[in-house]
Structure 1
Amino acid sequence: MAKGNFAACLGVSLVYEGGWSDNKADPGGATMKGITLGTFRTFKPGATKTQLRNITQSDVEHIYGVGFWDPIRGNDLPFGVDMATLDYGINSGPSRAVKDLQRVVGAPVDGKMGPGTLKAVILADNKATIQKLCARRLTSMQGLKIWKTFKRGWSRRVADVEAKAVAMWLAHAGMPAPSRQSELNAEANKAQDQAQAQTKGAGGAAGGGVAAGGGNAAVSAEPNWWMIAGIAAVVVVVIAILVIKSRQHKDRAAAYKAAAATV
């Protein structure tokens, strides 16, 4: 299990959490290294924005350790799964991260990392668990009102965490470096193929929509504009979904290639 892996996992998350932020579009409000003022105040009641902005590294590690790593029982999770779960928890809360992890491994969903969940995680295919958890995380993000604002950064972050978590699992599974590199490159190629398939699908949907609309108009002196509009609306939605999926798989391909290059 990943006991002692907290620093390595947190280091990946902190790259994305960045420094000071007080973005009005972010419902979390004032944030430093991913720690909101509200969270900081649970550890230091009455803390100000200035104090948050000058938070010490020891406080950062303590807050992430007690508030995020401990609730997901990071020390008891397999290598790589701990990273994917921690980063998800930092973004969306430990309970949500655990619930999706439970869904992935087929454990009862209660948001608590109990012995039954741990057993299911340990017995599961770790690489598949990481990939499925990251996919669920991204789907959850797409349902948020602020998705349009943060979608590019979030997509790249989840892809990067997925690739690094898989690389970590492969390394701790004892796989030799050349084999790890080959495995990661294979995942990159698979993601690229998926991206290309989604792009072709979007093009096909666009062509099919035009043909359907044109066909309806051609066979009737008074075309059913409501039907045409309905078909057009469905086509637009399908194309949008395929374009988003294509972009996400491109991000995954790039992340896996970068992970392979560091082996």
Structure 2
Amino acid sequence: MTASSFDEALKRVLIHEGGYVNHPKDPGGATNKGVTQRVYDGWRDRLKLPRQSVRYIKDQEVADIYRRQYWDAIRGDDLPRGIDYSTFDAAANSGVSQGAKWLQRALDVTADGQIGEATLEAARKSNGATVINKANDFRLAMLKSLRTWPTFGKGWERRVSDVRKVALDMAAKAPLPPVTGEPGGVPGAAKATVEDRSLKDIAKSPEGMGGIIAVGSAALNAASDPTNPLAWALGFAVIVAVGVGAFYFVRRLRSAG
């Protein structure tokens, strides 16, 4: 029996999915490592665990969700190497049914979104490189038709290109490129923007902590001598300076995000 490609495939899916993001134009909503809040809620409900923000999802939960809801759903362990990864990434990015349909169309079998014995038999008899190329062509064509293409298209196109290359290498049993680099520019992959950062996160930064200490010191100094106008003026000046510094700090975060 051929060894499962799941661990290798998951590492490569996650480099595209990235960390926590809640992009206003992403219909999936709050997402972390490609797992949406809705999917995470359903997963924890099934295990009778209290719901929590997907921001706090654990690595083992991520692996379990991807295996059960995506890899097993597309029969990853039964698909030829390379085709398994290509279909898995498509399912994780666009849904199991859609990922399955792209594969079935590439195999020229009934595209019902359910990978069963007929699809598996066709995949085993197919030319892996041809199927991978066709499936990714269908995937890219549909992504380009979406209204969110102007926002996410650049990242999606890069992702499909990367998946195609790695899947072809896997099918050819060629050495694979290392899993390195920053998360890609797809929903769930970019760093959280400044809008996603809580005040608590900003307060934890060196700039934020310095500002809090400065404001506190200024307030204490003014309160210690309420009759001294110089103390109040100094306190006011410190607060204004911290406010201006916070403004530029947030601007810098927005530019970086």
TM range (shorter): 0.5 to 0.7
TM-score (normalised: structure 1): 0.63
Provide the C-alpha distance between the structure 1 equivalents of 2:7 and 2:118, rounded to a whole number of angstroms: 26
Provide the C-alpha distance between the structure 2 equivalents of 1:87 and 1:36, rounded to a whole number of angstroms: 15
Provide the C-alpha distance between the structure 1 equivalents of 2:75 and 2:3, rounded to a whole number of angstroms: 10
Larger Rg, first or second structure (1 or 2): 2
Q: Which of the residues 48, 51, 57 maps onto 1:47?
A: 51
1:111 counterpart SS class: coil
Structure 1 contact 134–158 (Cα < 8 Å) conserved = yes
Q: Which residue is equivalent to 1:16? A: 16
Q: Which residue is equivalent to 2:86? A: 84
Structure 1 contact 43–63 (Cα < 8 Å) conserved = yes
Cα shift at 1:166: 0.5
Q: Which has the higher contact order (CA 8 A, sep 6+)?
A: 2
Cα shift at 1:3: 4.0
1:78 counterpart SS class: coil
User: What amino acid maps onto 2:52 in structure 1?
Assistant: T
Cα shift at 1:134: 0.7
Cα shift at 1:102: 0.7
2:81 counterpart SS class: coil
1:112 counterpart SS class: coil
1:4 counterpart SS class: coil
Provide the C-alpha distance between the structure 2 equivalents of 1:2 and 1:62, rounded to a whole number of angstroms: 21
The answer on 1:100 being equivalent to 2:105 is no
Q: What aligned pairs does 1:1-263 form with structure 2 within 5 A after superposition? A: 3-45=3-45, 47-49=51-53, 52-171=54-173
Cα shift at 1:48: 2.8
Provide the C-alpha distance between the structure 1 equivalents of 2:121 and 2:151, rounded to a whole number of angstroms: 38
Give unmatched runs, 5+ long, in structure 1. Answer: 182-263
Cα shift at 1:168: 1.0
CA-to-aligned-CA distance 1:128-153 (integer Å, 9 cap, x gap): 11111111100110111101101111
Change over 3 Å in CA distance of 1:67–1:2 after alignment to 2: farther
Share of identical aligned residues, percent?
37
2:13 counterpart SS class: helix
Provide the C-alpha distance between the structure 2 equivalents of 1:35 and 1:72, rounded to a whole number of angstroms: 17
CA-to-aligned-CA distance 1:12-45 (integer Å, 9 cap, x gap): 1100100000101100000000000001011113
CA-to-aligned-CA distance 1:86-126 (integer Å, 9 cap, x gap): 00001110111111111110111211111001001111110
Change over 3 Å in CA distance of 1:165–1:83 after alignment to 2: same
Provide the C-alpha distance between the structure 2 equivalents of 1:40 and 1:122, rounded to a whole number of angstroms: 33
Coordinate RMSD, CA, aligned: 1.7
Structure (1 or 2) with the greater helix fraction:
1
- Corresponding residue pairs, total: 173
Change over 3 Å in CA distance of 1:94–1:2 after alignment to 2: farther
2:51 counterpart SS class: coil
TM-score (normalised: structure 2): 0.65
Q: Which residue is equivalent to 1:223? A: none
